């Protein structure tokens, strides 16, 4: 079998298109992997830590984001249990963001199957949570199975009421 020394126009076009597509995929991959900056890089190490105590943190991991009004202001840097088997999460927050001491922290999902993060709802107090302090109000993670069970039970109860 003889290998052609030159390619036809169609073969050359297909080869060039394939190479360009591969190059674009490699560039996008490099951008995604190396282009993201962590919270620590964004605030250049100027941060402080506060704690939040939850009954359950299902799906939330060390390294997950902390957001305020949808903006990332920090991350979870530690998780441990207290003597009452409650989870104590240590949050590292940007030093430029002060949290009122009557604020709440909730564990929420980024969509139905998305990752979890902590959303802070600011209060109206003029006083702020001090470094090393703790949130007075927290809301635990909602487990998707529990949510589905609640929806099903609401549907069943409404069907029973309709049949009466």
**pTM of the shown model:** 0.62
Give 157's pLDDT tier (boundaries 50, 70, 90): confident
28-71 pLDDT, tens per residue? 877 766 655 443 444 556 999 999 999 988 888 899 999 999 89
13-23 pLDDT, tens per residue? 888 898 888 88
- Over 74-140, what HEC string results? EEEEEEEECCCCCEEEEEEEECCCCCECCCEEEEEECCCCCCEEEEEECCCCCCECCCCCECCEEEC
């Amino acid at each position: 079998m003889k290998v052609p020394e030159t390619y036809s126009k169609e073969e050359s076009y297909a080869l060039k298109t394939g190479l360009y597509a591969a190059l674009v995929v490699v560039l996008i991959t490099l951008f995604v992997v190396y282009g993201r900056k962590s919270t620590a890089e964004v605030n250049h190490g100027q941060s402080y830590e506060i704690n939040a105590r939850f009954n359950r943190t299902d799906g939330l991991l060390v390294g997950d984001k902390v957001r305020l009004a949808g903006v990332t202001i920090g991350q979870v840097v530690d998780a441990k249990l207290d003597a009452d088997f409650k989870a104590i999460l240590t949050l590292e927050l940007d030093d430029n963001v002060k949290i009122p001491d009557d604020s709440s922290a909730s564990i929420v999902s980024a969509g139905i199957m998305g990752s979890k993060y902590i959303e802070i709802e600011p209060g109206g107090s003029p006083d702020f949570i001090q470094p090393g302090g703790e949130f007075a109000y927290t809301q635990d993670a909602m487990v998707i199975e529990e949510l589905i069970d609640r929806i099903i039970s609401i549907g069943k109860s409404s069907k029973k009421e309709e049949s009466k």
